[in-house]
Chain A
Amino acid sequence: MNKANLEPRRKAAVDIKLLRLELFPRGRTPCEEISHEWSPAQPTENLSPEAAAALLRIEIWAPQSVVRERYRKLQMRYPPEQFPERHTQLRPAFELLSEPVVRLNWYWQSGLIPIMTSTASKDECSLWNQEMNQEPFDAQKALSGIINSFL
């Protein structure tokens, strides 16, 4: 697992998460559009974005079209009717990675900060590549952002 992708939030976040689970029983959604956050159907229990990405052999933060394209190819190679166990492996991985909201929710629910990185070169993916990597802000970078906004 890439350690850079796993920066925990604060300690209190864990306590709060427990509290939230108490407030909303499993399977109940207080909010429809972001229902994944609470839904037990979400593959959080046994599948992390790292594992999902490894299964599909792509990057965790690959853009949606890359995930879809990759999944389509894998489906052609392993038709679900011939490779049912392959299919049960790949499908949750596809669902976790192809929808940005689901992936974000996984990070949120796991108490991690989503740090989006890529190791791809610009030729491999023009939209999302290592040139787009942004380190988390520190105080000085935040200051320069503020100063620029005042200019």
Chain B
Amino acid sequence: MSSENFSEIEALYALQRNWPKFEDILNSVVENDEFRGFLESYRGHHDNSTPEHRLTLRNIFLAELKNFYCDCFSQYSRFRVPLSESFLKDFESAVNTALYYWHGLGDRNFQFRTIVHFLGISPEPLQVSSDTTSLSMLVNEWGIGFSQEQSFFEFPRRASLARVCGITSLKLKLPLDENEKPVLFATARLLQREFCLLIDEWEHCNSILAVKQFALRKMPQGELSLAHSKMQEISRTRDEFAKWCLSTAADFQLFVSRAIAIPSLDSDIKAEVKALNALVLSGLQKFLLPASVSRHVYSSDVLSEVMRWVGFRLGTEPEDMFALISELAFSTALNKGIDAAKILHILNGKSFDWILSADPSAAIKSVCWGLTRFEHCFLTVLLIVIIDQKVTPHHLDSHWIHTIASVVEMPGTFSVPEKTDSTLQCDLEQFGLFNSRAIAAIEKSLANSRDDALKTSQFIKEFLLSEISPQGEGGAPHREPLK
């Protein structure tokens, strides 16, 4: 181990040793007479006014916080290694992950955020310096950031929960012996519990962000530019937050794929692992909601994490249509080369016995901002054919198709100029065949759809038609086969 690594671990050990002292600093806020009343009505938001007399309390709190971290870093500088930015980010992720698990007074509503709001701490860099160390620290409602280059994230780094749960270092010898089976079983359950908590955190924090955005939308015309920059800030926060959740989901999925691959696994363990599998999937759909429902545009970092998840998921269930469609949609949006042949092969070959595990239209919707008209049409066609081929039709199926129609109608959906080198590779002739199959499916549903669904079905049919005939509405250029 290099001296740098060694000193990093020492600083983390110092943090762990001194953590009770840190909690004391956090808990000192409780002694304030007004705090209980504040917590009682607290829902994750604060009004901008913080009474004057709390300012003294705030200054004391921040000074103590600075001292505390100065102490931790002095452990590091004992080794005379200059503080590196990458270490600071690792340290930051450890601090904030621990804070994620911290609740005061046994009340899950009492988090670090509560203190920040109670004291009215504004997110400004604070200088932390001693004889040996000098860096800046930023406290905001999401946690604490550390940097030497004044580069802070809106959402301070957190470590993947896989680290906390110890699955990154979990090594199982195959075949499993009698002592390892209970470990695997208990780990699967531990991950279930932690993932439930993560979804809880996601829903809680996401609603906090949504309320903030709602308030910004109501701001008067004169303050539009301020509102815009604040919106951007919230967007970045959501991206960083989603990235953390999705990286955990991907790590957990890796565990699932490894566990399922174990030959002749006990049925009890398998059932728990499969429950975790379903749970991660349902979480993933929730993480995609801002993009698929609220038109939030996830940055490519976030999509890369989803892609990592998709990879592991397809490892265990190679014919999962949700994962296949997601893979196709996300890599097209990211402009990564992808061959649609895999899906087409499945659709052409074996029929009617694959599963549709989750709503695939959500995947297409969440990246539609990055698709051209043709790419979107291609994915829509696939979706319709997939749904049409299902073993047992479901009354929500048509709903999925209709959500895709709403994307087509939205202005600004196909803002991407026609890509000269679309990475979506498919045989145009084959696309034509699938397009007609999709149109036939739509016509079938037209025959027995209700009045209100009729218009949408017509609309989708026209959209599909416009992409195969160059004279059609929309006037898409006639394409040469891409491959």
A residues in contact (CB < 8 Å) with B: 8-13, 15-16, 28-34, 37, 61, 63-65, 99-101, 104, 107-108, 113-116, 126-129, 131-132, 134, 136-151
CB contact under 8 A between A10 and B200, given known A16-B207, A32-B394, A100-B275 = yes
In the bound complex, residues from chain B placing their C-beta under 8 Å from that of A29 are 394, 396
Contacts of A32 in B (CB 8 A): 355-358, 394
| Max chain A Cβ within 10 angstroms of own Cβ: one of B43, B266, B272 | B272
**A12 close to B12 (CB less than 8 A):** no
A142 touches B164 (CB 8 A): yes
Closest to B164 in A: A145
Give the number of chain B interface residues (Cβ < 8 Å). 68
The answer to whether A30 touches B359, judged by C-beta atoms less than 8 angstroms apart, is yes
- Is B33 among interface residues, defined by CB-CB distance under 8 A? no
With a cutoff of 8 Å between Cβ atoms, the chain B residues found around residue A126 in the complex are 178, 181-182
Chain B proximity of A52: nearest CB distance (Å): 16
Question: Is there an interface contact between A149 and B204, defined as CB atoms closer than 8 Å?
Answer: no
Instruction: Decide yes or no: A33 and B43 within 8 Å by CB, A116-B193, A139-B101 being known contacts.
Output: no
| B4 part of interface (Cβ distance < 8 Å) | no
Q: Mark B197-230, 1 if CB is under 8 A from A, else 0.
A: 1011001100100000000000000000000000
Q: Does B99 contact A (CB under 8 A)?
A: yes
* Given known contacts A33-B281, A114-B196, A145-B163, A10 and B395 CB-to-CB distance under 8 angstroms: no
Of chain B, the residue at the smallest CB distance from A61 is B189
In chain B, positions 173-200 with a C-beta closer than 8 Å to chain A are 178, 181-182, 185-186, 189-190, 192-194, 196-197, 199-200
A10→B108 contact, CB < 8 A:
yes
A61 to B186 Cα, complex, angstroms: 11
List the B side residues contacting A127 at CB < 8 Å: 181-182, 185, 266, 268-269
Cβ-based interface call for B13 (8 A): yes
A9 in contact with B200 (CB, 8 Å): yes
Is the CB–CB distance between A139 and B279 below 8 Å? no
The CA of A144 and the CA of B20, in the complex, are separated in Å by 14
* B148 at interface, CB cutoff 8 A: no
Smallest Cβ-Cβ distance to B102: which chain A residue: A139
Contact B285 A146 (CB under 8 A): no
B12 and A147 contacting across the interface, CB-CB below 8 Å = yes
Contact in complex: B16, A148 (CB < 8 Å): no
Q: Which of A107, A115, A142, A150 contacts B98 (CB 8 A)?
A: A142
Residues of A within 8 A of B457 (CB): none
Interchain nearest-CB distance for A62 vs B (Å)? 10
A115 contacts across to B, CB distance below 8 A? 193
Residues of A within 8 A of B166 (CB): 145, 148-149
Per-residue interface assignment for chain B, residues 76 to 118, with 1 indicating a CB less than 8 Å from any chain A CB and 0 otherwise: 0000000000000010011001111110000011000000000
Cα-based distance from A33 to B320 in the complex (angstroms): 11
Task: Return the contact of A150 from the options B8, B109, B196 (Cβ within 8 A).
Answer: B8
Q: Indicate if B169 sits at the interface (CB-CB under 8 A).
A: yes
Set of chain A residues within 8 Å of B15, measured between Cβ atoms: 143
Q: Is the beta-carbon distance between A11 and B43 smaller than 8 angstroms?
A: yes
Of the residues B94, B197, B274, contact of A146 by C-beta under 8 Å? B94
**Residues of A contacting B266 with CB < 8 Å?**
127
In Å, the complex CA distance between A16 and B286 comes to: 12
- Give the residues in chain A near B13, CB-CB below 8 Å: 147
- A70 to B: closest C-beta gap in Å: 13
Q: Contact: A128 with B200, CB < 8 Å?
A: no
Q: Are B204 and A116 in contact (CB under 8 A)?
A: no
Considering the complex, which residues of chain B in the window 337-381 have a beta carbon less than 8 Å from any beta carbon of chain A? 355-359
